Amino acid sequence: MSGFPCNHIHFSAISFGIKSKDIDIPLFFITLIVIMRRTVLLSLILVLFSGCTAFQNSEKLNFFHDLKSDAQVYSLTLPENHIPLIVNEKVADYIKIYNNGSREHLRRILERAYPYFPMMKLAFRKEGLPDELVYLPIIESGFQMHAYSPKHASGPWQFVTGTGKMYGLHCNWWVDERRNPEKSTIAAVRHLKDLYKWLKDWYLSLAAYNAGGGKVSKAIKKYKSRDYWELTQEKRRYIKKETKKYVPKFLAVVIICENLDRFGFTDIQKKTPLMYDIVEIPDATDLNLVAKACNTTYEEIKALNPELKKWATPPRYENYQLRIPYGSMDQFLAIFNQIAPEDRITFRRHKILKGETIWSIAKKYKIPRPMLKEMNNLGSKGFIREGKYLIIPIRGLDKARELDELLGFKNSIQNDDKMDY
């Protein structure tokens, strides 16, 4: 394990010869002067060396400012994990950042993360992968299910559409399974396992998770090295800065999270694991109806199902698994089974008139064109014919209001302009 940086001091050779061309100085005094000069030099070296050591220790205390003494610094626990934990200059820089300026930010992320940790650890253990990989979403998304990057990566594990599709994550107008905590975690486990099987090194695998396996593989060939720290030297430009920072960030987060008390993170509210019931929905169903049948709110159903992008479950998605509040399954089924399928989401039939287009019909009913094409299997081009009929989806608000009356609610249905449509 490499230590913290220390400025090394180099000394050039010093001549101790004394020229006494015109001065008659006894040999005894010359010898005495030489000894004194050497003693002064030695003392100077010892002082400078002590200063360097003190600087090094003070830097450690700056990085680990919550630790009270040198002894505590040196006894910092680095667990023997599958992924080697080291503290070099780059890692130490991020420990300093997360432990100082970004301390409150990290605390909030950890509070969001704790409900998901048990599920994620179990998924990694089933595949024999390191537990500490559960900390990766901290630097990927801050454990925000709806996180969306400029590069169009989505969800806690920040999958782009193509990679997500490779690992079975559906993404369309209705759903984005990259935002599903369980499904995206299983996909991340499989992806990381594949990367490690390919690169056979965790630092390289983590870099590949960020930059892509092809990028890291080409860097290995270009620089003829399989050492992550060699590949990411400042002078080497092939690997982007984001990837150069990625592994040091991750190691810093792991070291802090494995030593929360030692770093003073004693006020984190460790929320209990998420608990919910799962029900199978046979076809498109308005989430307002689901909420009323569960005696909860529309917002709660949306929060439990972050992959749902719209106000209803997707059409033609047989037995869609929907999460509802824990303990509400019996009540939900008793009410839901009384609702006729055609009332779970309401529709109108529209006869296509001469000159009408998908755009004009969508505008007339104030619905998005992709939704209209999806509901009618029109494909991406959306060809329609005069005289044919289109199904126009209309939210089942009337049926939801009936449930309000049945369950004793008053004016709990949201207005259309406030709905997540």
- Residue 307 appears among annotated catalytic residues: no
Distance CA 303, CA 287 (A): 12
At which residue do the structure tokens 């089942």 appear? 396
Tokens matching residue 188: 């991340």
pLDDT at 14: 36
Tokens matching residue 123: 């998924």
| Across 291-304, average pLDDT | 95
Q: Is pLDDT larger for residue 65 or for residue 112?
A: 112
Q: Quick check: 117 pLDDT over 90?
A: yes
Q: How confident is the model at residue 379 (pLDDT cuts 50, 70, 90)?
A: confident
Q: How confident is the model at residue 309 (pLDDT cuts 50, 70, 90)?
A: very high
Distance CA 228, CA 219 (A): 10
| pLDDT cut 70: percent of the chain above it | 73
DSSP 8-state secondary structure symbol assigned to residue 134: G
**Per-residue model confidence as pLDDT tens digits over 72-102:** 333 455 656 689 888 888 999 999 999 888 9
| pLDDT cut 90: percent of the chain above it | 52
List, in sequence order, every residue forming a beta bridge with 177; answer none if it has no partner.
none
Q: Is pLDDT larger for residue 409 or for residue 281?
A: 281
Q: How confident is the model at residue 159 (pLDDT cuts 50, 70, 90)?
A: very high
Please name the helix (run of DSSP H) or strand (run of DSSP E) that holds residue 324, with its range, or none: strand 320-325
| Across 106-131, average pLDDT | 96
Helix intervals (H) in 259-388: 287-293, 298-304, 329-336, 341-344, 358-365, 369-375
Does residue 364 contact residue 357 with C-beta atoms inside 8 Å?
Answer: no
Task: Please give the span between the terminal C-alpha atoms of the chain, in angstroms, as a whole number.
Answer: 54
Distances (CA, A) of 195 to 159, 191, 211, 246, 384: 14, 6, 12, 16, 46
| CA-based nearest residue to 113, from 260, 325, 294, 297 | 260
Residue 152: how many CB atoms within 10 A of its CB?
Answer: 12
Q: Is pLDDT larger for residue 340 or for residue 62?
A: 340
| Across 110-137, average pLDDT | 96
Q: How confident is the model at residue 7 (pLDDT cuts 50, 70, 90)?
A: very low
Q: How confident is the model at residue 374 (pLDDT cuts 50, 70, 90)?
A: confident
Q: How confident is the model at residue 57 (pLDDT cuts 50, 70, 90)?
A: very low
pLDDT at 35: 56
Q: Quick check: 11 pLDDT over 90?
A: no
Diameter of the chain by CA atoms? 126
Helix, strand, coil shares, percent, the chain, to 5: 50, 10, 45
| Across 390-402, average pLDDT | 60
List, in sequence order, every residue forming a beta bridge with 171; answer none if it has no partner.
176
- Poorest-pLDDT segment among 125-134, 141-150, 352-361, 395-404: 395-404
- Poorest-pLDDT segment among 94-98, 288-292, 393-397, 404-408: 404-408
Active-site hit among 132, 140, 177, 307: 140
Please name the helix (run of DSSP H) or strand (run of DSSP E) that holds residue 189, with its range, or none: helix 181-199
State the chain's mean pLDDT as an integer: 80
The burial of 270, by beta-carbon neighbours within 10 Å (0-12 exposed, 13-18 middle, 19 or more buried), is given as exposed
Q: How confident is the model at residue 330 (pLDDT cuts 50, 70, 90)?
A: very high
Q: Quick check: 214 pLDDT over 60?
A: yes
This prediction has a pTM of 0.71
DSSP 8-state secondary structure symbol assigned to residue 191: H
